[in-house]
Amino acid sequence: MNNRLTCTNADQRGMPPDPAENFQFTGQRFFRIDNGRITGQLRDVAYQATTTDFWGSMAAVGGPQTYVLGGAFNCGKAQPGQVAAVSHGCPSALFKGVNILNTTQEAGR
Amino acid sequence: MSARSNKPHEIVERALELSTADGCVVIADEQSTANLRWAGNALTTNGVTRGRTLTVVATVDGKEGTASGVVSRSAVTVDELEPLVRAAEAAARGAGPAEDAQPLVTGVSPSPDFTDAPAETTSAVFADFAPALGEAFARARAGGRELYGFANHELVSSYVGTSTGVRLRHDQPNGTLELNAKSPDRTRSAWAGRSTRDFKDVDPAALDAELAVRLGWAQRRIPLPAGRYETLLPPTAVADLLIYQMWSASGRDAVEGRTVFSKPGGGTRVGDRLTELPLTLRSDPNEPGLEAAPFVLAHSSGGDQSVFDNGLPLAATDWVREGELRHLTTTRHSAGLTGLPVAPAIDNLILTGGEDRSLDEMVANTGRGLLLTCLWYIREVDPATLLLTGLTRDGVYLVENGEVTGEVNNFRFNESPVDLLGRATEAGRTEKTLPREWSDWFTRAAMPALRVPDFNMSSVSQGV
């Protein structure tokens, strides 16, 4: 497959509680890759999958030089609610056959 | 330490006396809570908590403007006040001019109960509710249902004093009940929630009966694909969507071109018609049953609130009046910046103007459509359209020829509340509701159900 997307900084602030549930992340920055070269930035991109299917589609994992520590200050859980800072480090990874949405079309425009 | 020296109003007065800054605001929040938790038709835990948070805002005038510093600490006693006040003053001196600086509020009549002891809740708030819940457990057990849930009651007495003479106090009760019923194999689940000031208006037997009907509907499963469906959004779902709209209604952000309420080319959409239905979206600190603080209580500046506005009286505000956008939220500072009127956020939200029809009557008038229970995990996709995404949860039902004929799978939706107001073809009777998704932050809402002819169910979700 020649058409690939690279996403830096997906933004959804957390995941649904059920591991088998559907998730959607909006990409803050998406780029198109054609034949090994980044050929442009894309707008209005989100991706959607079921968690287990998504991780099953992982085809490659980047080396240590791609590792980035991300996190949030406001991971909230429980009743009554509790909030804690969390961190979560990841290398870059390649996923195949991911369902990509156009958020403008999703908004009916 | 005597009990007397820890009275909230005396702590406020003492902190103000200690201030050496040009201005000072002190907020003492005295919080008490009581909760019950249950699972599998049995109580599992109960708890009570007590807490105090003291917030000191110091303002320091300088050549380039007025700076502000804010420090909040929990469990503060009189002996610990001076370091707190000094920390706020140091923060102000180190901060540089505050963009939102305004003269502190003056000329507000003091609350007559400012020197009275704080209000407090205890487990006694559940005196009638807990036995009734026990009876609901017995009925659920006999009917093959398992009840799970959580009830929480909170009372916060907030005392606000300023160096300009403001002495205000507000007592905010805040009760929430969430009840889930599940089939013993956990494949069927239904939810009901209530917002209450005192648990006297909550009837576990009625809620259990409602959930029993829904678990019955779920015995027939009807898988449906993603798509646009005529959908009945119950009041809790409408509340969750419109609360997010309210949070996104900053006048300043709109003027700066950053929100759904920005006018293309500049300015705001105030004056635009959002819906052909005669719907009014409003907040009112004196709304019966949904009473909220009648003055600004701002523990920090940011977004559409300013610590300089503490104590500013709040008046009933129409955000949307009979379908037309009328107000966006502002502070005194952002009102001056944008030319919009001063309209601070208020801690309740009411949508009226629908027809006098219950949700059951709206179901009876539906040819084919979906009936939702509630929305879950709502997050923003695009601020320019206020596109939100989230999941349905605890029951999506298919309505055919005026009757529920079975339970459908869950969906992920992508919708903007502003667009939904524009496309809704019917609103029902307004009723008090618990906004499930935002109930940790916002519980005082009254909403009608809405009928949307083409709600965007973007994909199927496997969750329960």
Total structural domains in chain A?
1
Per-residue pLDDT at B2: 43
Q: Strand B450-461 relative to strand B280-283: parallel, antiparallel, unpaired?
A: unpaired
Alpha carbon separation from B41 to B36, B124, B418, B460 (Å, rounded): 13, 21, 40, 31
Residues from chain B that touch A107, judged by Cβ atoms under 8 A, are: 381-382, 385, 387, 414, 416, 419
Helix (H) or strand (E) run with residue A42 in it: strand A37-42
Identify the burial level of B61 via C-beta atoms within 10 angstroms of its C-beta, where 0-12 means exposed, 13-18 middle and 19 or more buried.
middle
Per-residue pLDDT at A9: 54
Average pLDDT of the residues in B349-366:
98
Tens digit of each residue's pLDDT (9 = 90 or more) over B12-30 = 999 999 999 999 999 999 9
Q: Is the pLDDT of residue A12 over 80?
A: no
A28 pLDDT band (50/70/90 cuts)? Answer: confident
Q: Rounded to whole angstroms, how far apart are CA atoms B456 and B458?
A: 6
Average pLDDT of the residues in B148-168:
98
Residues from chain A that touch B389, judged by Cβ atoms under 8 A, are: 24, 46
Mutation for testing the B interface, residue in A21, A75, A98 having most B CBs under 10 Å: A21
CB neighbour list of residue B230: distance below 8 Å, 6 or more residues apart: B366, B367, B368, B369, B370, B451, B452, B453, B454, B455
Is there a contact between B405 and B451 (Cβ–Cβ < 8 Å)? Answer: no
CA angle A65, A67, A73 (to 5 degrees): 150
B4 pLDDT band (50/70/90 cuts)? Answer: very low
What three-state secondary structure class fits A18?
coil
Average pLDDT of the residues in A68-89:
87
Average pLDDT of the residues in A62-73:
93
Q: Is the pLDDT of residue A2 over 60?
A: no
CB neighbour list of residue B302: distance below 8 Å, 6 or more residues apart: none
Per-residue pLDDT at B239: 98
Of A13-22, B129-138, B208-217, B428-437, which range is least confident? Answer: A13-22
Instruction: Compute the mean pLDDT over every residue in chain B, rounded to the nearest whole number.
Output: 96
Identify the burial level of B422 via C-beta atoms within 10 angstroms of its C-beta, where 0-12 means exposed, 13-18 middle and 19 or more buried.
middle
Q: Is the pLDDT of residue A5 over 90?
A: no
Q: Shortest Cα distance from A31 to chain B (angstroms)?
A: 18
Dihedral angle, C-alpha A18, A23, A27, A32, nearest 10 ° = 120
A3 pLDDT band (50/70/90 cuts)? Answer: low
Phi, psi of B252, deg, nearest 5: -65, -45
Q: Rounded to whole angstroms, how far apart are CA atoms B65 and B99?
A: 9
Per-residue pLDDT at A19: 52
CA A32 distance to own-chain centroid: 15
Per-residue pLDDT at A79: 85
The domain of A44 spans: 3-106
CB atoms closer than 10 angstroms to residue B62: 12
Q: Is the dihedral of CA B257, B260, B264, B269 positive or negative?
A: negative
Q: Is the pLDDT of residue B137 over 70?
A: yes
Q: What percent of chain B has pLDDT over 70?
A: 99
Which chain B residues have any C-beta within 8 angstroms of a chain A C-beta?
A: 33, 35, 37, 49, 150, 152, 178, 376-377, 379-382, 385, 387, 389, 391, 410, 412, 414, 416, 419, 440, 454, 456, 458-464
Residues 10-29 (A) with a CB less than 8 A from some CB of B: 12-14, 16, 18, 20-22, 24, 26
Is there a contact between B260 and B241 (Cβ–Cβ < 8 Å)? Answer: no
Per-residue pLDDT at B315: 97
Q: Which residue has the higher pLDDT, A88 or B272?
A: B272
CB contact under 8 A, A22 and B460: yes
- Tokens 């707008």 sit on residue: A43
Average pLDDT of the residues in B182-199:
96
- Tokens 């991706």 sit on residue: A47
Is there a contact between B36 and B55 (Cβ–Cβ < 8 Å)? Answer: no
Across the strands, what pairs with B30? Answer: B52, B157
Pick the residue from chain A with its C-alpha nearest to B391.
Answer: A22
Residues from chain B that touch A76, judged by Cβ atoms under 8 A, are: 440
- The order of strands in the sheet holding B445-447 is B324-325, B317-321, B280-283, B349-352, B445-447, B431-433
| Out of A12, A22, A80, closest to residue B459 by CB | A22
Tens digit of each residue's pLDDT (9 = 90 or more) over B81-135 = 999 999 999 999 999 999 999 999 999 999 999 999 999 999 999 999 999 999 9
Is there a contact between B30 and B3 (Cβ–Cβ < 8 Å)? Answer: no
Helix (H) or strand (E) run with residue A103 in it: helix A103-106
Per-residue pLDDT at A82: 86
Phi, psi of B118, deg, nearest 5: -65, 150
Is there a contact between A45 and A7 (Cβ–Cβ < 8 Å)? Answer: yes
**Number of CB pairs < 8 Å for A and B?**
76
Q: Is the pLDDT of residue A7 over 50?
A: yes
Q: Strand B227-233 relative to strand B368-382: parallel, antiparallel, unpaired?
A: parallel
| Out of B150, B379, B416, closest to residue A107 by CB | B416
Mutation for testing the B interface, residue in A11, A12, A24 having most B CBs under 10 Å: A24
What three-state secondary structure class fits A65?
helix
B6 pLDDT band (50/70/90 cuts)? Answer: confident
Q: Which among B61, B93, B76 has a CA at the least distance from the CA of B30? A: B76
Tens digit of each residue's pLDDT (9 = 90 or more) over B272-282 = 999 999 999 99
Residues from chain A that touch B35, judged by Cβ atoms under 8 A, are: 79-80
Q: Is the pLDDT of residue B187 over 80?
A: yes
B250 pLDDT band (50/70/90 cuts)? Answer: very high
CB contact under 8 A, A79 and B152: yes
Q: Strand A82-90 relative to strand B23-39: parallel, antiparallel, unpaired?
A: unpaired
Residues from chain B that touch A104, judged by Cβ atoms under 8 A, are: 382, 385
Per-residue pLDDT at B38: 97
Is there a contact between B94 and B326 (Cβ–Cβ < 8 Å)? Answer: no
Phi, psi of A14, deg, nearest 5: 110, 175
Q: Rounded to whole angstroms, how far apart are CA atoms B195 and B177?
A: 6
| Out of B379, B440, B460, closest to residue A12 by CB | B379
Q: Rounded to whole angstroms, how far apart are CA atoms B352 and B447?
A: 7
Partner B contacted by A103 (CB < 8 A):
yes
| Out of A21, A80, A106, closest to residue B458 by CB | A106
Q: Rounded to whole angstroms, how far apart are CA atoms A40 and A94?
A: 18
Average pLDDT of the residues in B424-444:
97
Q: Is the pLDDT of residue B422 over 50?
A: yes
Tens digit of each residue's pLDDT (9 = 90 or more) over B196-227 = 999 999 999 999 999 999 999 999 999 999 99
Q: What percent of chain A has pLDDT over 90?
A: 57
CB neighbour list of residue A6: distance below 8 Å, 6 or more residues apart: A30, A31, A32, A33, A38
Q: Is the pLDDT of residue B54 over 80?
A: yes
Tens digit of each residue's pLDDT (9 = 90 or more) over B297-345 = 999 999 889 999 999 999 999 999 999 999 999 999 999 999 999 999 9
